[in-house]
Amino acid sequence: MKNFDNTFFTYVVIEIVKTIPYGRATSYGAIAKAAGFPNMSRMVGKVLSNCDSATNNIPAHRVVNSKGELSGRESFGSSHEMEHLLAKEGIIVCYNKIKNWAKVFWDPISEIQL
């Protein structure tokens, strides 16, 4: 018996990622916190690396680390694919880092307060 329901966690993470607005981005830690697993930021990354975002229409490119760096870019087709997807939404990436990160950052918690 596992003390961690990976199926449930994966589902919640994917649902949250789908709610990230166009032109905005958030962090692994913020998603983990919103999902109710504040210490699972690393697991969020694992979920996204296995989600096949292109096929499943999941905006995984809108998830970066807490500093706004594109730490997962190598998991996209080419090493510049993630940056390209962000650029298409008006998010400027320079030296592997999102410009105006404080403005682009979107906290799922603020949207869940219904």
Site for DNA in 1-20 (CB under 7 A): 2-4, 6
- Output 39 or 114, the one with its CB closest to DNA: 39
DSSP letter for 7, please: H
- State the minimum distance, in angstroms, from the CB of residue 70 to DNA: 8
Site for DNA in 38-57 (CB under 7 A): 39-46, 48-49, 51, 53
End-to-end Cα spacing for the chain? 34
Phi, psi of 93 (to 5 degrees): -115, 125
**In this structure, are residues 108 and 26 in contact, taking their beta carbons and an 8 Å threshold?**
yes
Say how far apart CA 86 and CA 96 lie, in whole Å: 11
Interface residues with DNA (CB under 7 A) are 2-4, 6, 27-30, 39-46, 48-49, 51, 53, 60-61, 63, 65-67, 71-72, 75-76
